[in-house]
Amino acid sequence: MKPARSLAASALALLGACSQIPPYQPPTTPDAPQWRETAPGWMAAAPADTLARGPWWALFGDATLDALVPQVAVSNQNVAAARAAVAQSQALVREQRAAFFPTLGLSGTATRAGVGGSVSTGSKAGGSSFSATGNRFTLGLDASWEPDVWGRVSAGVAAAEASAQASTADLANATLSAQAAFVSDYLSLREADAEIAILGTTIGGYERALQITRNRYAAAIAQKSDVLQAKTTLANAQADLAGVAQGRAALLHAMAVLAGQAPATFQLPPGDWAATAVPAVPVGVPSTLLQRRPDIAAAERAVAAANADIGVARSAWFPALTLSGSLQQNASSLTHLFDASSTTWSFGLAIAETIFDGGLRSAQVDAARAAWEGTVAQYRATVLTAFQAVEDQLSAAATLEEQQARRREASEAADQTEAQMLNRYREGIVAYTDVVTAQVTALQARRALLQVSLQRQTAAVAMITALGGGWTTAQLAADAGR
């Protein structure tokens, strides 16, 4: 009997290796030896999602921002939902792994039963009566196990593990997206503070100009229309100030929600804005950083999960084997419950195979394969979109830098023109319409300079997001050695 048992065990071990999961290879993606919008010499993309990202927002050199952003990863509700999804996916992995082990069940009963009645004996006494009672105790242990002969359980575990890894990448993506939105809103809020300060200064100048026109009108030097134009210019600037203040309030509310707080409890007083703090993308940043994007990692793990699902569907073609066993103890008293004579046992092997299902399993395999093809297409689309995002931001960074220089020149020239026109008006050389035109042009130029400065910073945030996080010189050196 021993050789037969050994042969059976070897056969089960051999069958256990019959995995139905197709060999997995990450899908190929379009080759990008270098970025189109930058200098040549960048390295080709390669998986590097595990690189540490670090506090990339520190690149902007703002202590207030450094203190606020960490709250997003802790309190943002979208991030919290993604964190719960990770915990759920990890529990599903444990649920799938549980199928590798047998299930054990313990049962026990205790009953007391009796019978009673009378029997006629034909005597004058009319008969006799009797009664009988008894106890019965049982204790049973049942076991059942379905060996993973065809790899169905292994495939299910592989699919669950890949899905859990995708959920982890989704959490990283949700965190990065929330942090990027928070940083962008913070920078926009600081730009609004700067605009409010400029509008306040400008309004003060407009009020002085209005007083000059009133004085000139009172002295019969200027016309009533000059006063009306001065009032119009002042009122428009005050309306712009109210609009910017309203926009700042909306940004503050959005930041509160991103930080997981009620808008009423989130306060951020006006502060200085480092408009010139624009992190530049280091020339040596290789395109390997693109593979650090968590959405790409999640898409690739979804492909792996779909590949494993094909194995689950294929395993349905093979019979299901179930091993079962039972151990029972039966006795009329507790003292004899564990006697050898009270023991009964059984062991069995069950096999079940579907003979005809109307094409159900074929359809399920085809559906799993089609789902895999869909995830491959989504993965490649995610990669292409990521490449587009990086190229867009590289182009935007170069363009906005040039625009900022031109806007600064325009603003400085407009300021000088405004001052000259006001002096000439005081001397009666030009009409007040020339002053109004110069004032409006100067204000627009100042605000345009602030806005393009903000655009450069938000483009830097978008670039960091497109690359999957921040970078440091040490990371660049580590990347080069990979």
| Predicted local confidence at residue 5, as pLDDT | 47
Mean pLDDT over 181-198 rounds to 97
Q: What are phi and psi of 331, to 5 degrees?
A: -155, 160
267 CB burial (10 A radius; 0-12, 13-18, 19+): exposed
Confidence band of 113 (pLDDT split at 50, 70, 90):
confident
Confidence band of 44 (pLDDT split at 50, 70, 90):
very low
| Predicted local confidence at residue 289, as pLDDT | 60
| Predicted local confidence at residue 41, as pLDDT | 39
Confidence band of 390 (pLDDT split at 50, 70, 90):
confident
| Predicted local confidence at residue 397, as pLDDT | 87
| Predicted local confidence at residue 43, as pLDDT | 39
> How far apart, in whole angstroms, are the C-alpha atoms of residue 134 and residue 136?
7
Sign of CA dihedral 362, 366, 372, 375: negative
| Predicted local confidence at residue 213, as pLDDT | 92
CB neighbours of residue 6 within 10 Å: 10
Share of residues in the chain with pLDDT > 90 (%): 55
Mean pLDDT over 213-221 rounds to 91
- Helix (H) / strand (E) element for 3: namely helix 2-16
| Predicted local confidence at residue 409, as pLDDT | 96
**Fold (CATH) for 28-108+135-480:** Outer membrane efflux proteins (OEP) (1.20.1600)
Out of 6-20, 38-52, 317-331, pick the least confident: 38-52
- Residue 230 predicted with pLDDT over 90: yes
| Predicted local confidence at residue 374, as pLDDT | 96
SS3 content of the chain, % helix, strand, coil (to 5): 65, 10, 25
Mean pLDDT over 430-457 rounds to 94
Mean pLDDT over 423-443 rounds to 91
Give the SS3 label for residue 201: helix
- Residue 418 predicted with pLDDT over 60: yes
